[in-house]
Amino acid sequence: MASTIKQSHSPTFSADDFKPLDQKLDQERIARKSMSFWQDVFRRLRKNPVAMSALVFLIVLVMMAIFAPILSSHKFDDLNPTDKNLAPNAQYWFGTDDFGRDVWVRVWIGARISLFIAVVAALIDLLIGVFLGVLAGYRGGWVDNIIMRTIEVLSGIPWLIMVVLLIIVMGSGMTTMIIALAITGWVGMARLVRGQVMQLKNYEFVLASRTLGARTWRIMSKHLIPNVLGIVIVRLTMNIPAIIFTEAVLSFLGLGLQPPLASWGVLVNDGFKSLRTYPWNFWFPAAAISLTTLAFNLLGDGLRDAVDPRLRK
Amino acid sequence: MLRYTLEKFLLMIFTLFIISTLTFFMAHALPGGPYQNPEKLTPQVKALFDIKYGLNEPLPIQYVKYLENLLQGNLGYSFKYMNQSVNGIIAKTFPVSAQLGLEALLFAVPLGLIFGILSALFRSRWPDYILVIIAVLGVSVPNFVLAALMQYFIGVKLQILPVAKWGTFAHTIMPSIALGIGILALITRIMRTSMLDVLGSDYLRTAKSKGLSQGLIIWRHALRNALLPIVTIIGVLMVDLITGSIIIEQIFLIPGMGKHYVNSINTNDYTLIMGLTIFYSALLVLAIFLTDLLYGLVDPRIRVAGRKE
């Protein structure tokens, strides 16, 4: 440039020189559609064959729980005194129990009840845990102190003992079981969320939002909760099998649902009594619990990697 | 460190106090009285029993007396087992449960650590895959299913080990394995993650670039740092052992604390339920206290920052 100016003392400019450059706007455009966080998670999850098989298994399980009892010609509480303790056969696919009830239908009815209890209790845990965790982590101070002390005291009681006490006091049944499981289960979730929120609240986007005058509840609901949701969902997936297990244990201790209602825990307990003579009464519900727990754990592992790929090990 | 310890100690006492109070009022809210056939008792006899167990006094006074007794380590008398103190029952049954728990730990912890380390060292090769599968199965298969599987195949079909009951060492093998598998799997998973973290760290690269041998790097630098997170799960292990023993003892008919706990529930034995609940909680709270102390010892950042998580 400098040399051209020296050579020509009277520069001539054409009108063309002042035309704006032909900006290639297309170059700057992001060709790919932007993905939401959950689309991204699902895209990563889809590449994980183990987690996807677990997901498919769980979907099939839920469908079976809904439709298998409807489609079967037997009812879960039909008593057939002539068909007692039959081995699996063409008419009774999983055999029959002590009262001649069809184990196939009972396993799927059990799936309904066990999954229902587990999902509802886990969701209540999630709501309480996220609310208290965000509150404690964001507000800090005395609010945090009270919530954390409560958590510390609660985690000093072994959860099974606590659930047992609650059920003895309130009487056994589906509602009390869900309440007892929910009262004890939120502690871990609240701890997890609190830890996350304590990190998040120091980030610039929270500061920016606060500077712009956002109120506490808005920061919580628009910024903090969406950001912990990923890890919370992972935890939820891991909590569900834990609750299924607890429900089974409670039935094992004689604190479960009352017959003829059949959760997986009740079935396992009934089956265990006749394990030596009619083992299929035990194996089918036991396999159902084990496989479901396995599927939830595998899905949880996959989700964790998908939600936060840095954690992948 | 002293302040930190004191703080944790006070928290432990406070937690125990809350738990005892909760337990007391919950036990008194139980439906159905403590007597097995109350309709068969004449009012006079019932009044005598009430006096014997201190049930004739108003609730607040009962509560104060209960706390007084508790401070002296006295958990009262069982309703069901005539003239047996709860302390006596615990003294008789706790060693059984403790033996079961210790055997489970002795087999699960070292094996879990080794599995975790191997799995991390052989990352993404077949030993890793096998160990990860074992760990996932160990976490997923409920201990009562595993216990029943072993009982049926090893005990009943093959008759290698006794099916149930307690006595010789052979009796302890299956229950310990059933109790320990979950712990083994948990430790394998944690150790693997932690070891992978450490193996990717800068100070390990430094150690390697100094020319240290592979064995020395792993033994002196990687292992010691990777063991840290294990300290944090002592409390979790205690919970696993307690809940696990309650189920396993029921399945294998082991005369330990868990079995008596279930019995006390089924017979409405107030004092025994309360006593065992408090004893279990004390065990757990003590384990949490020890975790905090150990963690403060091995990681100076914790005790300086106090209770920041």
**What ipTM does this complex have?**
0.82
Under the banding of pLDDT at 50, 70 and 90, the label for residue A298 is very high
In this complex, which of B15, B137, B141 lies closest to A153 when CB atoms are compared? B15
> How confident is the model at residue B118, as a pLDDT?
92
* CA pair distance A271, A284, nearest whole angstrom: 9
- Rounded mean pLDDT, B253-276: 86
pLDDT higher than 90, residue A14: no
Q: Decide which of B161 and B196 is more confident.
A: B196
Cis, bond preceding A260 (omega within 30 deg of 0)? yes
Would you say residue B93 has pLDDT above 50? yes
* Beta carbons of B18 and A153 less than 8 Å apart: yes
- What's the Cα-to-Cα distance from A242 to each of A55, A138, B298, B305, rounded to whole Å? 17, 28, 31, 33
Please tell me the predicted confidence (pLDDT) of residue B307.
Answer: 46
Q: Which residues of A touch B16 (CB under 8 A)?
A: 156
What average pLDDT does this structure show over B230-235? 84
Task: Write out chain A residues lying below 8 Å of B280, CB-based.
Answer: 157-158, 161
pLDDT confidence of residue B39: 67
The chain A residues in contact with chain B (CB within 8 A) are 148, 152-153, 155-161, 164-166, 168-169, 171, 191, 194-195, 198, 241, 245, 248-249, 252-255, 268, 272, 275-276, 279, 282, 286, 289-290, 293-294, 297-298, 301, 313
Long-range contacts of A260-265 (CB under 8 A, 24+ apart): A260/A76, A260/A77, A260/A101, A261/A113, A261/A174, A262/A76, A262/A106, A262/A109, A262/A110, A262/A113, A263/A110, A263/A113, A263/A114, A263/A117, A264/A107, A264/A110, A264/A111, A264/A113, A264/A114, A264/A288, A264/A289, A265/A114
Closest partner CB to A160 (pick from B16, B142, B243):
B243
Q: Between A191, A252, A290, which is nearest B140 by CB?
A: A290
Distance to chain B for A217, nearest Cα, Å? 24
How many other β-carbons are positioned within 10 Å of the β-carbon of residue B205?
Answer: 12
Residue B72 banded pLDDT, cuts 50, 70, 90 = confident
Determine whether the interchain pair A253/B262 forms a contact, defined as Cβ–Cβ distance below 8 Å: yes
Contact A81, A102 (CB under 8 A): no
Site from A144, A150, A157 to mutate, B interface, most B CB atoms within 10 angstroms: A157
| CA pair distance B119, B189, nearest whole angstrom | 9
Cβ separation A252–B145 shorter than 8 A = no
Between A203 and A68, residue with greater pLDDT: A203
Inform me whether the pLDDT recorded for A172 exceeds 80: no
pLDDT of residue A272: 84
* Interface mutation target, options B23, B28, B144, B189, chain A, most CBs of A under 10 Å: B144
Out of B141, B152, B281, the one facing A158 most closely (by C-beta) is B281
> Min CA distance, A70 vs chain B (Å)?
28
User: Could you give the CA distance from residue B257 to residue B45 in angstroms, rounded to a whole number?
Assistant: 31
pTM: predicted TM-score of the whole model, two decimal places: 0.84
Nearest CA in chain B to A269: B144
pLDDT at A29: 72
- Name the closest residue on chain A to residue B269, using Cα atoms: A168
pLDDT-based confidence at residue B270 (cuts at 50, 70, 90): confident
Average pLDDT over residues B206-223: 87
B182-198 pLDDT tens trace: 999 999 999 998 998 88
Contact B272, B79 (CB under 8 A): yes
Partners of residue B238 in chain A, C-beta under 8 Å:
158
**Closest chain B C-alpha to A309 CA, distance in angstroms:** 14
Asked if B141 and A293 come within 8 Å (Cβ–Cβ), the reply is: yes
pLDDT of B180? 93
Quick check: A275 and B30 CB within 8 A? no
**Mean pLDDT calculated for residue range B93-116:** 93
Strand partners, B146: none
Per-residue pLDDT band at A130 (split at 50, 70, 90): very high
What's the rounded mean pLDDT across residues B166-176? 85
Q: How far apart are CA B246 and CA B240, in angstroms?
A: 10
Phi, psi of B125, rounded to the nearest 5 degrees: -120, 175
CA distance to partner chain B, nearest, from residue A109 (Å): 20
Contact B145 A294 (CB under 8 A): no
Number of CB pairs, chain A paired with chain B, less than 8 A apart: 116
pLDDT tens-digit map of A202-255:
889 889 998 998 888 888 888 888 888 888 998 999 899 999 988 888 887 878
A95 has pLDDT over 90: no
Q: Do A254 and B262 touch (CB under 8 A)?
A: yes
Residues of chain A with C-beta less than 8 angstroms from the C-beta of B196: 313
Closest CA in chain A for residue B196: A313
Taking an 8 Å cut-off on Cβ atoms, the answer to whether B144 and A158 are in contact is no
In this predicted structure, what is the pLDDT of residue B175? 92
Residues A71-92, mean pLDDT to the nearest whole number: 70
A38 Cα to chain B: minimum distance (Å): 25
CA distance to partner chain B, nearest, from residue A167 (Å): 10
pLDDT tens track for A283-293: 888 999 999 99
Residues A174-194: tens digit of each pLDDT: 888 888 888 888 998 999 999
Smallest CA–CA distance, residue B303 to chain A, in Å, is 17
Q: Are A292 and A119 in contact (CB under 8 A)?
A: no
B273 contacts in chain A (CB < 8 Å)? 165, 168
Provide, as residue numbers in chain A, all residues whose Cβ is less than 8 Å from the Cβ of B151: 275
Question: pLDDT value at position A8?
Answer: 55
What average pLDDT does range B128-143 have in this prediction? 90
**Residue B140 to residue A294, Cβ atoms within 8 A:** yes
CA distance A254 to A301: 33
Q: What percent of chain A has pLDDT over 70?
A: 88
| Mean pLDDT across chain A | 83
In the predicted structure, residue B53 carries a pLDDT above the cut 80: no
